[in-house]
A = this chain, B = another copy of it.
């Protein structure tokens, strides 16, 4: 049994980042995180979109907003571990074996400006390649490597059956 995995998204900007943060939330859910904590702008619409995906495809990604992400993070690391995804960090595949997945983990995903404190509060600063690319890609690769196996959503209303040529969707009750 793995302990909780939380994604903390810093510096969300409602006008500018809606799709990026939605993708982060969907990646969090699909690759095995249980909770998304949003900082920056509040965004109920974003949360509603994520909940509607869980409603159809199962699972229950918890969402919450924090006005004070640094205080939130300092509190989290009293009992859990935190890693910060940054292109300046250490290779993630070298760091992950040092993490023990019986302890809650927070994965911090930066926004436009990441406070210096984040680099210090987190136990590890980890990079998914030292090139500029995408926090969505970084989160997916990190979770894919960290989480033992992808989550299975037993309560899904819609389930997709892999298909070489088209779309096969089962509705629960099929």
Contacts and interface: CB of A to CB of B under 8 A. Distances in A.
Interface of A: 16-17, 19-20, 23, 26-27, 29-31, 53, 57, 87-91, 119-120, 124-125, 127, 129-134, 136-141, 144, 150, 153, 159-169
Copies in the complex: 2
B134 A23 contact: yes
A89 B137 contact: no
B133 A166 contact: no
Interface of A is mostly: mixed
Contact of A165 (B125, B132, B144, B166): B125
Interface centre among A29, A53, A129, A161 (most CB of B within 10 A): A129
A105 B167 CA distance: 23
Nearest to A136: B136
* Complex A-B, nearest 6 residue pairs according to Cβ-Cβ distance, in ascending order: A137-B140, A23-B134, A30-B131, A130-B160, A30-B133, A26-B133
Contacts of A133: 23, 26-27, 29-31, 140
Nearest to A128: B140
Contacts of A140: 133-134, 136-138, 140-141
Given A136-B136, A137-B27, A140-B137, A130 B162 contact: yes
7 contacts: A19-B19, A26-B134, A27-B137, A87-B160, A127-B162, A136-B136, A140-B141
Given A31-B137, A125-B164, 11 more contacts: A31-B133, A88-B160, A89-B163, A89-B164, A119-B165, A119-B166, A127-B162, A129-B150, A130-B159, A137-B139, A138-B140
